[in-house]
Copies of this chain bind each other. A is one copy, B any other.
Amino acid sequence: MAERPPARVKPRLVKGFRDIMPHQVVGRRRMTETIRSAFERFGFVPLDTPAVEHVDALAGLGEVGAKSLFRMESPEGEAIALRYDLTVPLAGLVAQYPDLPRPLRRYQIACVWRADKPDPGRFREFVQFDIDSVGAPSVLADAEILMAMEQALGDLGIRFLIRYSSRRLLNVLLRMAQVPEERGSAVLRVLDKLEKQGPENVLLELGDGRVDASGDRIQGLHLPASSVGTIGGFLNLATAAGRSGEGERTPREAVIDGLERFLGSAEGGPEAIGELREIDRYLRAAKVSDERVIVDPSIARGLDYYTGPVFEATLPDLPRYGAIFGGGRYDGLVERFLGVKVPATGASIGVDRLLAAMDEMGRLESGWSVARVLVTVMDRERIPEYLEIAREIREASLNVEVYMGEASSLRKQMAYADKVGIPIVIIAGSNEFEAGTVSVKDLREGKRREGEAATRERWVKDRPGQQTIARAEMIATIRSLLEED
């Protein structure tokens, strides 16, 4: 390589990809650690699968998924692709190792890749955090996914609302409303707009259509008035469940009672109600509050995929982020890929979306550096002594940097600390070394004083936040300054 002429390549990201800056990596790690710890509290174990899969194993994704694959060829000439989600690899894993414990409670935190059109905030590479119970036919497993999710989101210290339902419920509704089978999907697509458009607009779209805010005509499905009426009654129940907005939530049990009255003895009704009730019973035993987990009969979530309970979570303070996690029971999915029926339920957290939301809520620390202390270099001959100071600070389990740039002035070294967000600076020159002291400066102090009516001259004279102390007191002084945070 040495003989090559320098080849200048314009550095640029592949479209839809991005670099993740330190405070985001740190924020993401803290977030996934909190979630991981919550899931392990329930016995979920980690399993990692490769980033690439055989394309034939991904065929079950359907046309939309297939179009979104990053395809390539293995050195053996096989068609392979970057993984699209974490569920298909799990299905493959379950089929490949028949001796895995059942039920298999596993979690996986990993990147997935989709060759979709990128949008602001929508990337082609993003992190998912999935939990699934495979081989657990009981609704208890669904309830446990909800409990684990409630624990995880609760541990993050954010406001959230988890909603659950059963996909059976909407099937019963379609039958009650006498919607012909071939129009079911169209109706569900309209119902999916409930959150954004509100019940009035949804009902108009089910009937004769409506005119939207920009004056465009939106075609209606032209269902008979009786059908629209039945669906309207159902949506009233959904709204009464306290699915959005503030105020007291309707207890899960009351919502289920209302649904039971509404459905009467409709075909499939008792089974759907039974599922909701059993989940509620388990949630109550686990003391999961009616405020955090509600029954919302209107959630639809990809009905061609789920077979039983479905769930999702939103952030009441940031509704535009949509569902930050979603999932449900998918008893047929593993079979579709492998020809073996395996009951399974699970949920997926959109880590990057949740992280962006937490960033917007001011829940991520910012700042470039992880170091809390910078040891400045006043005299390059004394670098070994600065290294000793740093070693001492490090042994106290504090993150510390020795200044390693080319600036020799103290002012520039402090500007560096300020730029990267290091709050404490250690200054030592001949005077300090001879006297067995160091100077410790809290860079935040000057900023605090900016609020006061202090003149620039006074700062320089006062040296705000700077104190010269005995070397033996250095660690205690740094600790107490950092604790003031």
Interface centre among A59, A304, A390, by most chain B C-beta atoms within 10 angstroms, is A390
- Inter-chain CA distance A102–B413, complex, in Å, is 11
A278 to chain B, nearest CB (A): 9
Which B residues are CB-close (under 8 A) to A45?
22, 368-370
- Contacts A141-B404, A420-B101 given; indicate if A125 touches B383 (C-beta within 8 A): no
Given contacts A11-B57, A101-B420, A369-B45, contact A93 B19 (CB under 8 A): yes
A399 interface residue (CB < 8 Å to B) = yes
Once the chains are docked, how many angstroms separate the CA of A101 from the CA of B406? Answer: 12
Given contacts A43-B400, A368-B45, contact A338 B8 (CB under 8 A): yes
Q: Does A113 contact B (CB under 8 A)?
A: yes
B285 touches A388 (CB 8 A): yes
**A287, B141: Cβ atoms closer than 8 Å:** no
Supposing A101-B419, A101-B420 touch, asked if A7 and B336 sit within 8 A by C-beta, the answer is yes
Is A405 at the interface (CB under 8 A from chain B)?
A: yes
Q: Cβ of A62 < 8 Å from any Cβ of B?
A: yes
Given A51-B113, A103-B405, A401-B105, are A370 and B11 neighbors across the interface (CB < 8 Å)? no
A43-B370, A48-B20, A133-B404 given; A281·B25 CB < 8 A: no
A94 shortest CB reach to chain B, Å: 8
Question: Shortest beta-carbon distance, A34 to chain B, in Å?
Answer: 13
Report Cα–Cα, A4/B304, bound state, in Å: 11
Residue of B nearest to A101 (CB): B420
Q: How far is the CB of A402 from chain B (nearest CB, A)?
A: 7
Q: Which A401-443 residues sit within 8 Å CB-CB of chain B?
A: 401-402, 404-406, 416, 419-420
Residue A136 CB within 8 A of the other chain: yes
Between A96, A135, A383, the greatest number of chain B beta carbons within 10 A of the residue's beta carbon is seen for: A383
What are the residues of chain B within 8 A of A13 when measuring CB–CB? 50, 96
Bound form: Cα–Cα A399–B281 in Å: 22
A268 within 8 A of partner (CB): no
- In the complex, whether A183 has a CB less than 8 A from a CB of chain B is no
Query: Are B14 and A53 in touch, CB under 8 angstroms?
Result: yes
CB–CB B76/A15 < 8 A: yes
Number of A residues with CB within 8 Å of any CB on chain B:
113
Contact among B82, B336, B370, B406 with A6 in the assembled complex (CB-CB below 8 Å): B336
Query: Quick check: A286 and B1 within 8 Å, CB to CB?
Result: no
* A14 in contact with B50 given A43-B370, A337-B9, A400-B42 (CB within 8 Å): yes
Number of copies: 2
A277: CB under 8 A from chain B? no
Complex Cα spacing A288 to B74, Å: 46
Contact present for B125 and A416 (CB under 8 Å): no
A60: chain B residues at CB < 8 Å are 1, 4, 7, 9
A12 to B304, CA, bound (A): 26
Instruction: Give the residues from 424 to 477 in chain A that come closer than 8 angstroms, CB to CB, to chain B.
Output: none
Which A17-71 residues have a C-beta within 8 angstroms of B?
Answer: 17-22, 25-26, 29, 40-54, 56-57, 59-60, 62, 70-71
Check: A189 CB closer than 8 A to any chain B CB: no
A75 at interface (Cβ–Cβ under 8 A)? yes
Known interface pairs A57-B11, A286-B387. Does A125 touch B43 (Cβ–Cβ under 8 Å)?
Answer: no
Residues of B within 8 A of A74 (CB): 14-15, 115
A305 within 8 A of B: yes
A186: Cβ under 8 A from any B Cβ: no
Asked if A72 is at the interface of the complex by the 8 Å CB criterion, the answer is yes
Min C-beta distance of A18 to chain B, whole Å: 7
Does the CB pair B400–A1 fall under 8 Å? Answer: no
A296-331 contact mask (Cβ, 8 Å, vs B): 1 or 0: 000000001100000000000000000000000000
B52–A17 CB distance below 8 A = yes
What are 23 A-B interface contacts by the 8 Å CB criterion? A8-B338, A9-B56, A9-B57, A9-B338, A11-B96, A14-B53, A17-B52, A20-B49, A25-B47, A25-B48, A42-B394, A45-B370, A51-B113, A52-B113, A101-B416, A102-B405, A103-B404, A105-B404, A144-B402, A147-B387, A282-B387, A285-B387, A285-B388
- Nearest 7 pairs of A and B residues by beta carbon: A285-B384, A43-B401, A17-B50, A43-B371, A8-B339, A20-B48, A25-B46
Given A13-B96, A43-B370, A151-B394; 20 other pairs, CB 8 A cutoff: A9-B338, A11-B95, A14-B52, A15-B74, A15-B75, A17-B52, A18-B50, A19-B50, A20-B49, A45-B368, A46-B370, A52-B113, A70-B72, A75-B117, A136-B404, A147-B387, A282-B384, A284-B384, A285-B383, A286-B387
